[in-house]
Amino acid sequence: MMDDIIVIKGLVKRFGDKTAVNGLDLSIRKGELFGFLGPNGAGKTTTLRCVATLTGFDEGTILVGGHDVKKEPSAAKSCMGVIQQQVSLDKDLTIRENMISHAMYHDIRKKEREEKIAELSDFFSLGEYLDKPVDSLSGGWKKRAAIVCAMLHNPEVLFLDEPTSGLDINARRLLWDIIRKLHAEGTTIILTTHYIEEAESLCDRVGIIDKGKIIALDEPRVLCDKVGSIAVEFAEEGKTQYRYFKDRDEANAFASTKEGNVSIRKTNLEDVFVELTGKSVGAQT
Amino acid sequence: MSNLLVDTFHVAWGDLMFFKHNFLNILVMSIMSPLLYLIAFGYGLRTGETDIGVSYVAFVIPGIAALSSLSSSFSASATRMNVQRLYYKSFDEMMMCPLSLSSIVLGKCVLGLMRGLLSCFLLYALGLFLAPELVLSPLIIICIIVSCMTFSLLGVAVALLAKSHQTMATLNSLIILPMTFLCGTFFSVSSLNPVFQAILYCLPLTHASEIIRGAALPDYIDFPWISLAVLIAFAAAFFAIDVYLLKTKKI
């Protein structure tokens, strides 16, 4: 489709005899905020690394902004900005030097890069930290600096690999606001995350990946409704059990048959995730 | 071509800033080990004249310059790049940018080249005072540049192949340390038996020692043009390996 900024078809990536990504198909629309969920080792980061051209792949095609990452890697790279799970700034340089370095990699001329660094630093409130060494900043500020680096060349699509992992709740919420702000300005954002509430609160659509394949793909609410919009949580045989119902009346009727602690709540993506994969989000695949 | 040079500069810029921030440290490190080698081997162990008719100090200074080009260029490019690749992950950032692989390889060599040149020229400048037989000519500058570039490219290959800091240390012990003492830096390779000579001529530092010594002592030694060609071939091979490793993402 013309509106798809990323099109992945039949992606296969093997590491020796282990298949990390197994025939993955995915299209991401322009301007969309897309969440990629999956247990550890499900293939999220590997898929992202293939798209970002950091890892080669064995089969399939990946188009970014209409450019094949294998045939036109430079054009594809120009369309994207990537923020890796681990903050990947050069710790021997200052924040400003890291930004200049990134701008130079994208061949942005001096005047334009100075303007862009000033504009983005202002947007991310990084001004006072620009001439400080990387390690003098906290994790949240480093993430912001990494986002600025990834955005200097005005990428059409921004990849955020576990952007809030390791951050405290305040830093996480601040970063969510930034992600919303960027999305509101029209940037396509793809984020992988372990935090279900992050995906629910931010994403237009969510793809759930397990064993290297997309097993569910839709808007968060639609995915929840498919499982059943109301969840009943109760204890039975020494374990917490879950049942899902399409409305609250059915859920109430079922809950009344159970003894002990029973809770009724809206289904969330965690429920969808566990139902589909049989694992919790942080589990190893 | 101009794009390649511009991109090479863009890749090297961060490393040049690192060089600038740490200049004093680098300066001390650059001169310390060549100076110790000069004192220990040049003055401590041997004195008198060599077979080619020059003092041992005049003989050993070009050898130590070759050795410095190896140790400084190799360690500067290999260590920093290894840290950027495995610990900072900033190398991945660069790989996601629209840069040619050639410019990445050449750009990552610049720090090693600068460090090697600084070390070699500091030592050689000192050598010009200590040994009047030594000459300063365009040829010796070219030889030192070729030598530093070759070992810098080797450093990039090792940094790309090493999976950990420990692997780096192991490769250092297996590749660099034996070359340091055996490749005609402190003695003439021709004094060894033919089998050892054949083995040592397979190593780039032997050719670096020969060309730097040949260019430094033109009145005593015929310049070994074949060694210069062999060293350039080593540089080309290391460059090709670096590009191959990046291209096939075998890193």
Q: Using an 8 Å Cβ cutoff, are B75 and B155 in contact? A: yes
Q: Nearest 5°: phi and psi at B90? A: -75, -20
Cross-chain Cβ contact A92/B21 below 8 Å: yes
Who's near B148: CB < 8 A, 6+ residues apart?
B69, B72, B73, B112, B113, B116, B117, B120
Q: Tokens for B122?
A: 């500091």
Cross-chain Cβ contact A93/B10 below 8 Å: no
Which residues of chain A fall below pLDDT 50?
1
Chain A 30-89, CB below 8 Å of chain B: which residues? 52-56, 73-75, 77-78, 80, 82, 84, 86-89
pLDDT score at A279: 60
Give one DSSP letter per residue of chain B, joined into a string: -HHHHHHHHHHHHHHHHHHHHTHHHHHHHHHHHHHHHIIIIIIII--SB-TTSSBHHHHHHHHHHHHHHHHHHHHHHHHHHHHIIIII-HHHHHHTSS--HHHHHHHHHHHHHHHHHHHHHHHHHHHHHH-TT----HHHHHHHHHHHHHHHHHHHHHHHH-SSHHHHHHHIIIIIHHHHHHSSSSS-GGGS-HHHHHHHTTSHHHHHHHHHHHHH-TTTS---HHHHHHHHHHHHHHHHHHHHHHHTT--
CA angle A37, A39, A44 (to 5 degrees): 55
Which residues of chain B fall below pLDDT 70?
1, 44-48, 249-251
A128 lies within 8 A of chain B by CB: no
pLDDT score at B42: 72
Count other C-beta atoms under 10 Å from residue A205's C-beta: 17
Q: Which amino acid would we find at residue B108?
A: K
CA-atom Rg of chain B in angstroms: 18
Domain segments of chain A as ranges: 31-44+73-214, 223-277
Per DSSP, the three-state class of A40 is: strand
CB contacts of B6 in chain A (<8 Å) are 107
pLDDT score at A195: 80
Summarize pLDDT for A147-202 with one digit per residue, the tens. 899 889 989 999 998 888 777 787 788 888 888 988 998 889 999 887 888 888 89
Q: Tokens for B251?
A: 């890193």
* Third-level CATH fold of A31-44+73-214: Rossmann fold (3.40.50)
CB contacts of A105 in chain B (<8 Å) are 10-11, 93-94, 97-99
User: How far from A184 is each of A33, A34, A180, A188, B232, CA to CA, in Å?
Assistant: 10, 13, 6, 10, 55
How far, in Å, CA of A190 to CA of A150, rounded? 13
Q: Using CB atoms within 10 A of its CB, is residue B250 exposed (0-12), middle (13-18) or buried (19+)?
A: exposed
CB contacts of A75 in chain B (<8 Å) are 98
Name the minimum distance, in Å, from the CA of B92 to any CA of chain A: 7
How far, in Å, CA of A98 to CA of A87, rounded? 12
Name beta bridge partners: A263: A233
pLDDT score at B48: 67
CB contacts of A149 in chain B (<8 Å) are 93
Domain segments of chain B as ranges: 2-247
Task: Say what the pTM is.
Answer: 0.85
Q: Which of A54, A86, A92 is most worth mutating to test chain B (most B CB atoms within 10 A of its CB)?
A: A92
Q: Tokens for A17?
A: 């005899």
Torsion sign, CA atoms B120, B125, B129, B134: positive
User: How far from B174 is each of B66, B168, B177, B179, CA to CA, in Å?
Assistant: 18, 10, 6, 9
Pick from B22, B84, B97: CB nearest A105: B97
How far, in Å, CA of A209 to CA of A48, rounded? 12
- Which chain A residue has its CA at the smallest distance from B88's CA? A88
How far, in Å, CA of B55 to CA of B15, rounded? 39
CB contacts of A107 in chain B (<8 Å) are 6-7, 10, 98
According to DSSP, residue A210 is labeled E
A151-170 in b/e form (b: 16+ CB < 10 A) is: bbbebbbbbbbbbbbebeee
Q: Return the H-helix or E-strand segment holding A115.
A: helix A110-123
CB contacts of B84 in chain A (<8 Å) are 90
CA dihedral A50, A54, A56, A62 (to 10 degrees): 40
How far, in Å, CA of B27 to CA of B23, rounded? 6
Q: Which amino acid would we find at residue A119?
A: E
Chain B 69-108, CB below 8 Å of chain A: which residues? 80, 84, 88-90, 92-100
Cross-chain Cβ contact B97/A86 below 8 Å: no
Pairing of strands A157-161, A59-64: unpaired
Per DSSP, the three-state class of A47 is: helix
ipTM of the complex: 0.87
Q: Using an 8 Å Cβ cutoff, are B68 and B143 in contact? A: no
